Structure 1
């Protein structure tokens, strides 16, 4: 006799697998109601904001997890860090894999509330979606995980580990924590639900993240400012020295001209020029900088931005030669390049310069690694099947220029786990901006994709892919 035929866990998983669309559609009203409850809480884990709403969001999230069938719920409390919710559901069978589900329950500050069409923490129905701060980033993705657990009545066909962070937006001690306690995060695959589709309706897996590094460059040329009429023309202007140095960082096309930084063609899907202009707010007629396709410029090549400049402001400028100037540089690097190596290359470039014969003081700052996923394993194959079913079209692969330090930390903690980044956001959702929204079609698609993935991945492992030692 086939023992699986009498196993209620397997039977339940089979019922969902045979009709996942109907299962998910029946859940959507409840998922949306609970998403609105969660989004109404201003869980901003930034200095200067009350910690009470963050704890309120934590409590509601824990209650939703418990109602979804997760009995084993805990908490990580790290220094100066909002609580990290943990939980687990044991694998239903010895050959079932374990999947870690990540999301975060904190949100960005709303910014200037006058720019919002409705109060940011009053979730508002709009055509095809819901508007609120944090509704897409990342509370919709959190509800995708909870909805998938509901789809299986809390008894999914895989083991589950839950990791819901409470201070992702500001950064915390948790970013570097996973490699220190790798056994807590041991699993076969992870779904990092803090991303979404390149455009609504296009199922998307994010497979690479650029690394980042900071460098400070400073010039001091005079003891104090001196009269520009009396001394200008011979007295060295610190701002001119700095600007001449900064101008060497890019070539005539706007490509980064620092030796030792990796760049290669991007072979996945990329934004169109018009999509990028709309997202970045670049007016037509203003050229984009750099050469090559957008994927290469944004994801598989370096980018250098002057994010800060200390110099006299125009409105208070005196007729004087500037004695001191300083700039902060943000460097984004190829996902596979060591960020310290790239930072060293930039520091070396700047220290070699002597604009007008004057040396620069160059100081390295923080650096964080990127990430590039291996996409040929059983979890990725199951994810492709699941996303194709959810959206009815072939999934695409993209990268992101933003760094997600936790992903590299989890990759170091569990190097053999496959890491999948997908979710209910989309590039037009206004995350971090006014009028952030989530589309119901994207929320349903992500929930359906995760529900199908859990069944598909379990079946793949039963067919012969042995789960990792947990």
Structure 2
């Protein structure tokens, strides 16, 4: 018990922590049931599974007994007549002047990819070596169950003394670009408005050390088509005089990086910020970097990932190896995924990349830019009371002091949260660790990390519930 804690507060928190521990087996069983539902938001997949997933989450929310209202809702995509995928919204009103907290996660998952690359079936939850394997086991159905398990423990322990306002928002299309997210926020602004927002879709420094994510890179993704010919021609008859589209594309794309592999696009910025120690050996272990292959970039490794831009070619349209012939390709398409340093506007970063490519188009190749998707990065204001409460809850929940993290990935919808609820403190947390392999085969959840994350959130809810009306 700290010097500022009363005996009653310590007793309550001890009871909440005990309820968390007792509830972990049920939470993991429910998580396994969610993992078995292949809810994928991309239209090529069975959308009835996504509806099953939403209904299952809604039932879990009702089962906590803490909410006044639980609904499965959809919102329009932008200003179209098309509806987005189903989301769950559960609410309870604050009482006696207590604050309100919004808990976010998402129930849709990435496609499994090649089943042959999975050691166990992707939608059959399997425990081995202290980890739960399955698609969505970490990203982000574990985030859902961290919320549900914490709410169960707090509701059971506090009972009628639970005065905290709570909104639970479980999205159904995060992996598909959160297309109706902004409209959902505006349609349900009154129900979602909160003093603090917990986004449980990030990770931790490792499987023992909790992290509060304080910066996220933005993103700029687009399709580039490179065209040099009106039609294909024989590579033997005209090769050496006629530039084919692949030659032009490879030559052009190589200019995006310098000799060290760092981004070489004028106008894309970096951010200066301290990072925790992180070795090349750790990088190799966590990423599977092959022996003899060197990391790219300069400065600290985490600085490159958290605070500097990156550019990756994530897809290419060209003749396959099996179908290759002696032909000059007239056109090549590539998908370019850029990560934008926190603090830089994604539109500015995209404009810099487009300028760079247009200025360097080899042999006068025609360039076409389509399917532009932009998302701004995020920097957390760490001075608020909710950040202080979260750090304290993490220290007690994990038994290890938390660290402030940057994340190389992007959560573009956070910009929508900031725009719709400018007064809310946004807390980006999560249950993943560097070995979770989110989006990859053999995705998994570290079970002790899950237990610690649930305990942390339950303590945070308990401490927020104790904030006096005058504060």
1:86 correspondence with 2:82: no
- Say whether the 8 Å CA contact 2:91–2:191 is kept in structure 1: no
Q: Secondary structure at the match of 2:422?
A: coil
Partner-residue secondary structure (3-state), 2:176: coil
CA offset digits 1:396-437 (Å, max 9, x no partner): 122222222222211211112111111222221232233332
Supply the distance in 2 between the matched residues of 1:54 and 1:217 (Cα, whole angstroms): 32
Distance 2:400 2:332 in 1: 53
CA 252–408 in structure 1, closer or farther in 2 if over 3 Å, else same: same
- How big is the shift at 1:12? 9.7
CA gap 1:58/1:354 in 2 versus in 1, 3 angstroms:
closer
3-state SS in 2 of match to 1:163: strand
Partner of 1:98: 100
The yes-or-no answer on 1:285 pairing with 2:287 is no
Matched, 1:39 2:39: no
Other-structure match for 2:125: 123
**What is the SS of the residue equivalent to 1:73?**
strand
Quick one: which of 237, 247, 257 aligns to 2:264?
A: 257
**Alignment correspondent of 1:6:** none
Q: What does residue 16 of structure 1 align with? A: 12
Aligned to 1:3: none
Q: CA offsets per residue over residues 3-52 of structure 1, 9 Å max, x none?
A: xxxxxxx9998753244432321222222222223223332333233333
- Residues matched between the structures, number: 453
2:52 matched residue in structure 1: 56
- Matching residue of 1:160: 166
Q: Deviations over 1:102-146 (max 9, x none)?
A: 112222333333333333333233232333322222222211111
The 1:86–1:14 alpha-carbon spacing in structure 2 relative to 1, beyond 3 Å, is farther
Q: 1:361 aligns with which of 367, 382, 394?
A: 367
Contact 1:207 1:399 in 2 (8 A): yes
2:183 aligned with 1:177: yes
**Alpha carbons of 1:115 and 1:277: their partners in 2 closer, same or farther (altered >3 Å)?**
same
- 1:331 is matched with 338
Cα distance, 1:228–1:132 mapped onto 2, change above 3 Å:
closer
**Aligned residues of 2:115 and 2:121 also touching (Cα < 8 A):** yes
> Is residue 228–residue 244 contact of structure 2 (8 Å, CA) maintained in 1?
yes
Aligned residue for 2:149?
147
Counterparts of 1:312 and 1:43, CA distance in 2: 32
| In structure 1, C-alpha distance between the alignment counterparts of 2:361 and 2:45, rounded to whole Å | 45
**1:202-243 deviation per Cα after TM superposition (whole angstroms, max 9, x unaligned):** 111112221111244433333333444443333333332332
Counterpart selection for 1:225 from 232, 241, 262: 232
C-alpha distance in 1, partners of 2:140/2:166? 20
**8 Å contact from structure 1 (residues 89, 161) kept in 2:** yes
Query: How far apart in 2 are the matches of 1:53 and 1:13?
Result: 43
- For residues 41 and 359 of structure 1, the distance between their equivalents in structure 2, rounded to whole angstroms, comes to 47
Change (3 A) 1:111 1:352: closer
Distance 1:14 1:60, change over 3 A: farther
Structure 2: distance between partners of 1:12 and 1:83: 42
Q: Which residue of 2 aligns with 1:72?
A: 69
**Which consecutive residues of structure 1, in runs of 5 or more, have no partner in the other structure?**
1-9, 466-470
SS at 2:430 equivalent: coil
Structure 1 pair 439/350, CA: closer, same or farther in 2 (3 Å)? closer
Q: Per the alignment, do residues 271 and 423 of structure 1 end up closer, same or farther by CA in structure 2, a change over 3 Å counting? A: same
Match of 2:79 in 1: none
CA RMSD of aligned residues (A): 2.6
Q: In 1, distance between residues paired with 2:244 and 2:172?
A: 47
Q: How far apart in 1 are the matches of 2:328 and 2:42?
A: 39
- From 408, 413, 438, the equivalent of 1:401 is 408
Checking the alignment, whether the CA contact within 8 Å between 1:13 and 1:152 is kept in structure 2 is no
CA contact (8 A) 1:266 1:299 kept: no
Does structure 1 retain, via aligned residues, the 8 Å contact 2:58–2:72? no
Q: Pick closer, same or farther for the CA change 1:363–1:72 going to 2, 3 Å.
A: same
Does the 8 Å CA contact 2:58/2:71 hold for their aligned counterparts?
A: no
Evaluate the alpha carbon distance shift between residue 160 and residue 279 of structure 1 in structure 2; reply closer, same or farther with a 3 A threshold: same
TM-score after normalising by structure 2: 0.88
Secondary structure, in 3 states, of the residue corresponding to 1:160? strand
CA distance in 2, matches of 1:35, 1:367: 32
Normalization by structure 1: what TM-score? 0.88
- Residues 330-367 of structure 1 deviation map (CA, whole Å, 9 limit, x = unaligned): 211012211111111111112222524x1542425221
Matched, 1:452 2:459: yes
Q: Does 1:443 align with 2:438?
A: no
SS of the residue corresponding to residue 462 of structure 1 reads coil
Moved more, 84-93 or 387-396: 84-93
